[in-house]
Structure 1
Amino acid sequence: MATTYLFDDLRTRDVLADMRYLPTDPAPGDLIPAFDLPTLDGDRFRSDTLGHRPVLLVFGSQTCPVTRSAVPPLRDLHDEYGDRVRFVLVQTREAHPGELLPQPRTDEQKAAHAATMRDDLRVPFEVAVDDLAGTLHRAVGPKPNSAYVLRPDGTITARVHWANDAAALRSELEHVLHGTAALRHRGGATSPLLKAVGHLPEVVRRAGNKAERDVWRAVPPLALLGRTAGLLRGLPVDRRGPAAAAVLTFLALAVTAGIVVAS
C-alpha cells in the first residue's frame, strides 16, 4: 500500500480516485482516525489532545494546484477564525511530483517538503507532517486537498472535498462554532477544480516539466486546460481555469459548427 501511495508517476487511476470517496472512508459523524504527527514547530498534533477549540484539518502539498488555490482563502479564514478554531495543514505525498520536487522517500525529505510548502505558500498556521506511508492521509481517503471540521473530541462535523471551497468552509466553521453542525459532506463540485487549474503552470514551474508530462499522459483534458490557462496571464490566477474552459468550449463549438456547415 505504501509503495502504491508514494507514486512517482501520476496515473489516471489516481486522478479518478481523487474524484470520489469510498463508503468506508470516515464521514461526518465518525471520529477522525487516531494519529500522532510532528509539527514543524517541534510540537505534536494528536487526535487525543486536539485542544478545547474545533479544528480545521486540511491536507495538501505544494505540487497540488488545489492546495495552491486554497491557501490564500485559508489565510483569510484564519485571520477571522484563528482565535476560535485551530487550523492545521498536514503535508501529504506530492500530488504532482517532478524532477525538481520528487516524491519524498525519507521522513527528513517529507519534513523538508512541508517546510518548503509552508514558506512558499506563506502558511500562517500549524503545519504537521504525515508519516512517509501516509497513514492518516490513507485512513481518511487520500484526496489531495480535502478538509475536515472536527469537534474537540475528534468527531467529524463536515468533510469538504476541496479546501479551496472557501464558502463551504466558512459555513461549516460557523455551524460548528454555534453548535448547529448538521454533519455535512461538501462534494466534489467542478468550480473548485476549475479555480485550481490556473495554478497548474506554477506547479509545473516548481516541480519540473515531468509533472506536466504526467498530466498529459494521465488526464489530457486537464493538461490542455492548464496549458490554455497559462496563456491567460492578464486574469487573476483563480479565474484562468474557468476562462480556459470557456475558451476551449467556444473553440470546440466553433469547430463543430464549421464541420456541420461544410457537410
Structure 2
Amino acid sequence: MKGETLPDLTAFGYNYDHFGRDHPVMDQLGGVRVGEPAPDFTATRLDGQQVTLSDFRGRPVVVETGSVSCPMYVSHVESMNALAFRFPDVSFLVLYVREAHPGQSIGAHRDTAQKAAAARRVLDEESEGRTIVVDDLAGTAHRLYGEMPNTVHVIDADGIVAFRAMWNDPPAVEAALRKVLAGQDAGTVRSRFRPAGVPTVLRVLRRAGSGAIWDFVVAFPRLARSHIPGQTPSQN
C-alpha cells in the first residue's frame, strides 16, 4: 500500500523471539579474529549521542556484548566495573545487543526506542558503570564481533584485536590487558567459561518475563554439551 512502512526483515530475524528455538547452538565464535583490525562501527550512547569505535583510537579498548536479559553479562558487571576502575587509561564499552533471553516483559526489540529503554535498565538496575553504547536494530556491530550474547574483545591502541573470548572472563581480560599494556602478545591468554550462578540466572530470566525461563530450560541440554567447563584458549 502507498505510504506503508515495511518491516525490517533483517532486524526482525536478528531479534529472535525465543532463545533456543530461533537461535542456533552457540558453539563457535565468528567475526573478527585476533591480529586483525577491529571493524569500526557506529552505536548510540544513552544520552543519544552517536559514537564510533574509532573515536577511542589511541588507547586500549575493551568491548563486551550484553543485554539486560543475559545472565552471563549481568553476573560479570561488578567484576568488570572494578576492572575499569583499576585500568583508568583503558576505555571500557558495553555494546548493547539483542536480548539474549526475551520474554513477555522484556521482549525482542522491535524499534530503537525499545532497545534504548532496555539498555537503560542495565544502568538503573545493575549499576553498570561503563559506557553503554547501543547497537542498531539489525545488530550491525554485533555481527562484526561474532554475534554471541556475551563476548569480550580487547583492542590495542592501534585498533588491532589483541584478545577475544566467546564468553567474558574478567580475570582473563585483566591478564590480556596487562600484556597489551606491556607490549606483549595477549593472544596466548586462556579464558575460562564461568557460568552465571543459579540465583542470577533466575533473577534475570524472571525479569525478562514469561517464556524466558522455559526457553532456557528447553535449550539447556544443548548448551551444556557445547560449553564444557574448564580452561579453553581464547578464540583466535
Q: Provide the TM-score with structure 2 as the length reference.
A: 0.83
What's 2:173 paired with? 169
Superposition RMSD in Å:
2.2
Q: Contact conserved, 1:31 with 1:156, CA < 8 A, in 2?
A: yes
Unmatched runs of 5 consecutive residues or more in structure 1: 224-241, 243-263
- Which whole-Å CA distance do the structure 1 matches of 2:186 and 2:220 have between them? 35
Deviates more, 1:44-53 or 1:65-74: 44-53
What's 1:109 paired with? 114
Q: Cα distance, 1:203 vs. partner?
A: 1.4
Correspondence list, 1:1-263, <5 A: 1-11=10-20, 14=23, 16-17=25-26, 19-22=27-30, 25-81=31-87, 83-163=88-168, 165-184=169-188, 186=190, 189-190=192-193, 192-193=194-195, 195-220=196-221
Higher relative contact order (CA 8 A, sep 6+): 2
| SS of structure 1 residue aligned to 2:43 | strand
Show CA shifts across 1:134-180 (max 9, x none): 001012211111111112332100002222x1210110111111111
Q: Contact conserved, 1:93 with 1:104, CA < 8 A, in 2?
A: yes
- Which whole-Å CA distance do the structure 2 matches of 1:9 and 1:91 have between them? 18
- Which whole-Å CA distance do the structure 1 matches of 2:99 and 2:114 have between them? 11
Q: Cα distance, 1:186 vs. partner?
A: 4.5
Q: Cα distance, 1:33 vs. partner?
A: 1.6
Q: Cα distance, 1:13 vs. partner?
A: 6.8
Aligned length: 216
- Which whole-Å CA distance do the structure 1 matches of 2:123 and 2:151 have between them? 17
Give the share of equivalent positions with the same residue, in percent.
Answer: 33
Q: Return the structure number with greater helix share.
A: 1
| SS of structure 2 residue aligned to 1:31 | coil
Q: Contact conserved, 2:172 with 2:189, CA < 8 A, in 1?
A: no
Show CA shifts across 1:189-220 (max 9, x none): 44x12x34442101122111310111123335
Name the aligned partner's letter for residue 105 of structure 2. L
Q: Highest CA radius of gyration, 1 or 2?
A: 1
- Which whole-Å CA distance do the structure 2 matches of 1:28 and 1:128 have between them? 22
Q: Contact conserved, 2:61 with 2:155, CA < 8 A, in 1?
A: yes
